[in-house]
């Protein structure tokens, strides 16, 4: 079998580079990078970061582009076919199943996050989360209600809004995929990437012209101030390796898929390097210029650490709206910020879905329309549990298996196949055919044969150790949370005061939480405690009414709840302005304690991945059987 | 912003801008 000549090819080189950059540039560039840098040694973080870029970031980029163009030459746009061409073993195509299942599982939840960004762009445009007299919008609750995590329905009565924005996002993605590589993906990249740059510049100018509690430079100082003492920590190197891995979109099979639409003698060496360079530009320059400096301006230098360590989504979806709504034109700048995140995610999600499209088109000879319908059905079916059971941790579970462990494992398999089975020397020749830059053969072969596999094994081992051994992530745990029952009625929120060394109450609080979780586990059901609580400015807590249901039905003793709230230092707090720390107030409020029994949903998420795996293993078997028959018929003719 | 922070930011910026200039210059160079 030679070149098929029927597959699409990229329209222009610029279009290809923009599309590949769009694949790499995602939400992580703007939200994950600054947080990671700031909390892992500041400027010193760039040392392991750049080392990782050279020892496996750029090499893996080249490996992916080479495997992709090589596979594309034989009509394969996804890893089952690509691996089959590299490794003459009947197993090869089945190993490649990872390159279809992982991106499919990844887009299921990634497009949901993309839908949040679209939703928030709309809420910004309409001013939905702005505070008005008599109506306070607590952004944490707003976010939790939008995703169906909070037991209240003050801002969003149900999951309708989340479903609508997910539906729109799904349709947008499918339209682009249906239009094909040139008229869909390439056109989207040509519009979205310049817009993304424009929005980044607008946001950076906005942030650097604001004045508030602190200055934007204090934010930059927080990100870039080097702390060399951290360089000896295993965790800092692991964080840098992880950031490089995620930011370049290695291990999704999408780079390989994009490369399969390159003509056989067109350059891939410079294209791969340019993709990495553009991605680094957005990450290192723009990523550090928006969210953290904005937090420094608004909250002041002393509080940036709290904002940065709250996590990627908290910075983007809670802190940024809080900041933007406190300055003029929140509707405009809020929309720009969330559209920026949306476009960054959109260009990545179409890229990551394309291997699945390519699998249907190339291996099952489906038309583009049919492939879009099949993908759309799998996507719509698969995203439903992500939306409906978000509060039980389904998204995080899929992210752990597909977006964390799975990706590194696949990249490791890929580089081993490339360097040890396909052979690095042959790989280098393939990479350099038609290349616009010359990649030095000696260092390339040495790095991909020895250094990159070891680096990837190090990340995989490190993550498995941290998540499985230290955090014991394999055992599903019940989730406990505490909420205000009527958030819009109160200016303040529930906050935790410093607990002044009352060891008896603190240890009681821990035991109480453990006991609630055990009750949920034994009853295999969720539980709820609703209570009226009088909080005092002096730290006093009095439960005046209590009602419990579900697995916590027996938990009706007000004294226990009182002691728990005291042990955890819960108080009702109001802020003079949203910048400042809350001040404890005398107030009677209704609270809800929820304990969610997550195990069935976690196992359902794992089952989903397994089901997708088995489905695609079966489809691979069918595709190759059909191909075998086709070849026999051809030979007979 | 401290001097060390300025230095690390400047070096990091120089690295990514340099990498981009290198790629763009090769990208627009006429092929032999």
Q: What is the pLDDT of residues A224-246, one digit of tens each?
A: 999 999 999 988 998 999 899 88
Across the interface, do B11 and A273 touch by the CB < 8 Å criterion?
no
CB A1 within 8 A of CB A71: no
Residue of B nearest to A13 (CA): B27
Across the interface, do A224 and B11 touch by the CB < 8 Å criterion?
no
Interface contact B2, partner A, CB < 8 A? yes
Q: What share of chain B is helix, strand, coil (3-state, %, to 5)?
A: 80, 0, 20
Q: How far apart are CA A305 and CA A127, in angstroms?
A: 28
DSSP one-letter code for A11: S
Interface contact A36, partner B, CB < 8 A? no
Q: How many CA atoms lie within 13 A of A593 on its CB side?
A: 27
Across the interface, do A277 and B12 touch by the CB < 8 Å criterion?
no
Q: How far apart are CA B24 and CA B26, in angstroms?
A: 5
Give the sign of the dihedral formed by CA A296, CA A299, CA A302, CA A308. negative
CB A118 within 8 A of CB A342: yes
Which value does ipTM take for this structure? 0.96
Q: How far is CA A79 from the centre of its chain?
A: 22
Q: Rg for chain A (alpha carbons), in Å?
A: 26
Q: How close does chain A come to B2, measured CA to CA in Å?
A: 7
Residue with tokens 């609750």: A141
Across the interface, do A224 and B8 touch by the CB < 8 Å criterion?
yes
**A462: which residues sit within 8 A by CB, 6+ positions away?**
A234, A238, A241
Residue of B nearest to A286 (CA): B13
Within A448-569, strands assigned E span: 479-484, 493-496, 527-535, 541-550
- For A308-377, give the DSSP string: HHT-HHHIIIIIHHHHHTTSS-HHHHHHHHHHHHHHHHHHHHHHHHHHHHHIIIIIS---HHHHHHHHHH
Across the interface, do B8 and A217 touch by the CB < 8 Å criterion?
no
Which long-range contacts does A616-622 make (Cβ < 8 Å, 24+ apart)?
A: A616/A97, A616/A100, A616/A101, A616/A359, A617/A94, A617/A97, A619/A359, A619/A363, A619/A364, A620/A80, A620/A93, A620/A94, A620/A96, A620/A97, A620/A363, A622/A364
Give the sign of the dihedral formed by CA A218, CA A222, CA A226, CA A229. positive
CB A592 within 8 A of CB A528: yes
Three-state DSSP state, A476: coil
Q: Rg for chain B (alpha carbons), in Å?
A: 14
Interface contact B11, partner A, CB < 8 A? yes
Full 3-state SS string of A363-419: HCCCCHHHHHHHHHHHHHHHHHHHHHCHHHCHHHHHHHHHHHHHHHHHHHHHHHHHH
Residue A579: per-residue pLDDT: 62
Residue of B nearest to A217 (CA): B1
Interface contact A224, partner B, CB < 8 A? yes
| The token pair that represents A194 in the structure block | 């310049």
DSSP one-letter code for A540: -
**Helices A234-247 and A27-39: angle between axes, nearest 10 degrees:** 170
Across the interface, do B5 and A225 touch by the CB < 8 Å criterion?
yes
Q: Which of A392, A355, A386 is nearest to A525 (CA)?
A: A392
Residue A79: per-residue pLDDT: 98
Q: How close does chain A come to B10, measured CA to CA in Å?
A: 10
Across the interface, do B5 and A273 touch by the CB < 8 Å criterion?
no
Q: How far apart are CA A571 and CA A494, in angstroms?
A: 6
CA distances from A51 to A203, A431, A535 (A): 30, 22, 52
Across the interface, do B9 and A288 touch by the CB < 8 Å criterion?
yes
| The token pair that represents A9 in the structure block | 């090819």
Q: How far apart are CA A503 and CA A484, in angstroms?
A: 26
Residue of A nearest to B22 (CA): A274
Residue A1: per-residue pLDDT: 38
Across the interface, do A220 and B5 touch by the CB < 8 Å criterion?
yes
Q: Which of A617, A618, A627, A625 is nearest to A98 (CA)?
A: A617
Q: How close does chain B come to A93, measured CA to CA in Å?
A: 35
Buried b / exposed e across A154-186, counting CB within 10 Å, b at 16+? bbbeebebbbebbeebbebbbebbbbbbbebbb
Across the interface, do A277 and B2 touch by the CB < 8 Å criterion?
no
CB A315 within 8 A of CB A291: yes
CA end-to-end span of chain A: 16
What is the phi/psi pair of residue A547, to 5°?
-140, 135
CA distances from A197 to A16, A64, A189, A575 (A): 17, 26, 12, 36
Cβ neighbours of B13 in A, within 8 Å: 284-285
Cβ neighbours of B16 in A, within 8 Å: 277, 280-281, 284-285
Across the interface, do A42 and B5 touch by the CB < 8 Å criterion?
yes
**A571: exposed, middle or buried (Cβ count in 10 Å: 0-12, 13-18, 19+):** buried
Residue of B nearest to A435 (CA): B31
Three-state DSSP state, A591: strand
Three-state DSSP state, A533: strand
Residue A203: CB atoms within 10 A of its CB come to: 22
Interface contact B12, partner A, CB < 8 A? yes
Interface contact A13, partner B, CB < 8 A? yes
Interface contact B25, partner A, CB < 8 A? no
Q: How close does chain A come to B28, measured CA to CA in Å?
A: 10
What is the phi/psi pair of residue A545, to 5°?
-155, 140
Query: β-strand A479-484 against A527-535: which pairing, if any?
Result: unpaired
Across the interface, do B27 and A225 touch by the CB < 8 Å criterion?
no
Q: How close does chain B come to A436, measured CA to CA in Å?
A: 7
CB A152 within 8 A of CB A489: no
Buried b / exposed e across A351-389, counting CB within 10 Å, b at 16+? bbbbbbbbbbbbbeebebeebbebbbebbeebbebbbeb
**A271: exposed, middle or buried (Cβ count in 10 Å: 0-12, 13-18, 19+):** buried
Cβ neighbours of A274 in B, within 8 Å: 20, 23-24, 27
Q: Which of B8, B11, B26 has the CB atom closest to A437's CB atom?
A: B26
Residue A577: per-residue pLDDT: 65
Three-state DSSP state, A245: helix
**A358: which residues sit within 8 A by CB, 6+ positions away?**
A76, A77, A78, A257, A260
Across the interface, do A270 and B26 touch by the CB < 8 Å criterion?
yes
Q: How many CB pairs under 8 A join A and B?
A: 73
Residue A48: CB atoms within 10 A of its CB come to: 22
Q: How far apart are CA A69 and CA A65, in angstroms?
A: 6
Residue A500: per-residue pLDDT: 62
Q: Which of A17, A226, A284 has the CB atom closest to B13's CB atom?
A: A284
Residue of A nearest to B4 (CA): A225
Q: How far apart are CA A358 and CA A366, in angstroms?
A: 9
Cβ neighbours of A280 in B, within 8 Å: 16, 19-20
Which residues of chain A, if any, have pLDDT below 70?
1-5, 498-502, 576-581, 637
């Amino acid at each position: 079998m030679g070149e098929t000549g029927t597959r699409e090819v990229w329209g222009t080189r610029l279009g290809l580079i923009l599309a590949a950059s769009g694949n790499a540039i995602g939400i992580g560039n703007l939200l994950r990078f600054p947080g990671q840098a700031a909390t892992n040694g500041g400027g010193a973080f760039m040392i392991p970061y750049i080392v990782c870029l050279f020892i496996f970031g750029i090499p893996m980029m080249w490996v992916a582009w080479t495997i992709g163009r090589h596979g594309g030459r034989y009509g394969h746009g996804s890893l089952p076919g690509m691996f089959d061409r590299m490794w003459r073993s009947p197993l090869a195509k089945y190993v490649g199943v990872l390159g279809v299942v992982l991106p499919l599982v990844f887009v299921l939840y990634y497009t949901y996050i993309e839908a949040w960004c679209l939703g928030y762009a709309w809420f910004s445009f309409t001013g939905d989360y702005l505070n008005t007299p008599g109506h306070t919008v607590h952004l944490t609750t707003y976010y939790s209600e939008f995703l169906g995590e909070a037991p209240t329905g003050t801002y969003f009565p149900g999951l309708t809004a989340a479903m609508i924005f997910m539906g729109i996002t799904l349709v947008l993605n499918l339209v682009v995929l249906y239009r094909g590589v040139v008229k869909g993906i390439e056109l989207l990249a040509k519009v979205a990437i310049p817009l993304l740059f424009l929005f980044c510049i607008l946001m950076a100018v906005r942030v650097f012209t604001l004045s508030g509690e602190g200055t934007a430079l204090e934010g930059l100082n927080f990100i870039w101030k080097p702390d060399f003492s951290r360089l000896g920590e295993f965790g800092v190197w692991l964080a840098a390796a992880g950031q490089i891995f995620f930011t370049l979109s290695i291990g999704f099979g999408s780079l390989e898929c994009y490369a399969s639409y390159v003509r056989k003698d067109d350059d891939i060496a410079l294209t791969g390097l340019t993709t990495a360079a553009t991605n680094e530009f957005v990450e290192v320059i723009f990523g550090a210029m928006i969210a953290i400096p904005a937090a420094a301006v608004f909250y002041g230098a002393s509080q940036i650490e709290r904002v940065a360590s709250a996590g990627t989504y908290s910075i983007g979806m809670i802190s940024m709206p809080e900041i933007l709504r406190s300055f003029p034109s929140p509707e405009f700048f809020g929309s720009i910020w969330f559209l920026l995140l949306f476009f960054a995610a959109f260009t990545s999600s179409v890229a990551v879905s394309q291997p699945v499209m390519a699998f249907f088109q190339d291996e099952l000879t489906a038309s583009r329309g049919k492939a879009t319908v099949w993908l759309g059905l799998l996507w719509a079916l698969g995203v439903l549990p992500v939306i409906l059971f978000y509060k039980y941790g389904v998204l995080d579970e899929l992210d752990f298996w597909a977006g964390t462990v799975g990706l590194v494992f696949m990249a490791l398999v890929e580089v081993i196949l490339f360097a040890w089975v396909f052979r690095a020397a042959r790989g280098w020749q393939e990479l350099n055919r038609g290349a616009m830059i010359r990649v030095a053969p000696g260092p390339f072969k040495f790095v991909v044969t020895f250094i990159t596999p070891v680096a990837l094994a190090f990340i995989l081992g490190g993550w498995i150790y941290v998540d499985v051994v230290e955090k014991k992530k394999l055992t599903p745990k019940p989730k406990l949370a505490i909420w205000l029952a009527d958030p819009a009625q109160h200016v303040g929120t529930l906050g935790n005061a410093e607990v002044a060394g009352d060891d008896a109450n603190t240890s009681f609080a821990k035991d109480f939480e453990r006991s609630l979780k055990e009750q949920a586990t034994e009853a295999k059901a969720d539980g709820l405690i609703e209570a009226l609580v009088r909080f005092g400015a002096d730290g006093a807590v009095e439960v005046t009414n209590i009602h419990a249901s579900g697995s916590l039905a027996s938990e009706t003793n007000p004294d226990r709840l009182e002691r728990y709230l005291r042990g955890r230092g819960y108080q009702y707090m109001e802020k003079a302005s949203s910048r400042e720390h809350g001040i404890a107030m005398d107030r009677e409020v209704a609270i809800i304690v929820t304990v969610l029994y997550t195990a069935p949903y976690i196992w359902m998420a794992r089952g989903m991945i397994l089901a997708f795996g088995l489905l695609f293993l079966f489809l691979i078997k069918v595709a190759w059987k059909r191909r075998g028959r086709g070849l026999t018929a051809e030979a007979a003719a | 912003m401290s001097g060390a922070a300025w230095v690390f930011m400047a070096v990091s910026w120089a690295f990514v801008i340099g990498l981009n200039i290198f790629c763009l210059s090769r990208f627009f160079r006429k092929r032999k």
